Amino acid sequence: MVRMSERGFKDVNVRVELVGMSRGYATLELKPIPGEVRRENPGQESGDPVSVLDLSIPETARQEFEKGQDALKENKLDDGIVHLRKAIKLYDAFPQAYALLGTAYLGQKQWKDAEVALRKANELDPKFPDAYMELGAVFNQTKEYPQAETALLKGLELKPEAAGGHYELAKTYWALGRWQDAAPHARKAVAGMPDLAPAHALLGNVMLRESNAQGALHEYQEYLRLDPNGSMAPGVRQMIEKIQKALHP
């Protein structure tokens, strides 16, 4: 479930189907609560704030961006990349297009291209939290963990409620052997994304380090409930068997 909350707007909840992918895309429409959204300009009919950057994007570039979004929603990464590159060619100062392009490259495991696009997104918009967090995910994939930590901490500073960022940072700290640092982020990831199976496996690993065998067992079982055929499933089943033997010798 994708959830969005913004002051002055009604909460939005959208279900995203993830089939063989760790990421999906959703279009969310924010509807203002009457009388609660500050109008940017006197006499503006809509309560929706419009940024100067949004107004500067040519319609042709916006259309290509939207086509790219639609293609990625259907997991057509190649088509999405084509449209997003067209959007950038039409309007080079388009951070959202660079960020989404980086996410598409991440989905294709083209780590260097993803890094370049995401860095450009944050160069254009230094306060774009999602681009920092996607960049952190890239660095996790390439095992550049100190760079991942830097990017993810910056993203979470801007967007502290981002469960996906907490999951990636927990992965970073676990890979660095800093399981105590990973623990709070793994818990926030599970709390914010209870349907993300790998987060439960990671939290289970953390709980074992905390000598909480019962808690780890619960998290591993939750992983299998959510993704019984996942890539971690064989290892998780082995851990469950070992824990159960230890608890009931």
| CATH classification at residue 194 | 1.25.40.10
Specify the pLDDT at position 248.
Answer: 82
Q: Report the mean per-residue pLDDT for the chain.
A: 86
Whether 193 maps to a domain, the answer reads yes
Please, which pLDDT band fits residue 226 given cuts at 50, 70 and 90? very high
What are 229's strand-pairing partners? none
Determine the structural domain holding residue 189 and report its residue range. 170-249
Q: How far apart are CA 209 and CA 182, in angstroms?
A: 11
Specify the pLDDT at position 64.
Answer: 96
Specify the pLDDT at position 165.
Answer: 96
Please, which pLDDT band fits residue 249 given cuts at 50, 70 and 90? confident
Of residues 40 and 87, the one with the higher pLDDT is 87
Overall average pLDDT of the 194-222 stretch = 97
Overall average pLDDT of the 5-12 stretch = 67
Q: What is the pLDDT of residues 122-138, one digit of tens each?
A: 999 999 999 999 999 99
Whether 157 maps to a domain, the answer reads no
Overall average pLDDT of the 95-107 stretch = 95
Specify the pLDDT at position 26.
Answer: 60
* pTM for the whole structure: 0.77
Whether 229 maps to a domain, the answer reads yes
Please, which pLDDT band fits residue 56 given cuts at 50, 70 and 90? confident
Q: What is the domain count for the chain?
A: 2
Whether 70 maps to a domain, the answer reads no
Residue 175 · residue 163 · CB < 8 Å: no
Whether 109 maps to a domain, the answer reads no
Q: What is the pLDDT of residues 103-124, one digit of tens each?
A: 999 999 999 999 999 999 999 9
Specify the pLDDT at position 241.
Answer: 95
Statement: residue 216 has pLDDT above 90: yes
Whether 233 maps to a domain, the answer reads yes
Whether 175 maps to a domain, the answer reads yes
Any idea what the Cα angle at residue 157 is, between residues 169 and 5, rounded to 5°? 95
User: Considering the chain, what percentage of its residues have pLDDT values greater than 90?
Assistant: 74
What Cα–Cα distance (Å) separates residue 79 from each residue in 165, 195, 196, 249? 27, 28, 27, 55
Specify the pLDDT at position 22.
Answer: 52
SS (H, E, C) 76-128: CHHHHHHHHHHHHHHCCCCHHHHHHHHHHHHHCCCHHHHHHHHHHHHHHCCCC
Whether 82 maps to a domain, the answer reads no
Q: What is the pLDDT of residues 153-174, one digit of tens each?
A: 999 999 999 999 999 999 999 9
Q: How far apart are CA 174 and CA 145, in angstroms?
A: 10
Residue 181 · residue 203 · CB < 8 Å: no
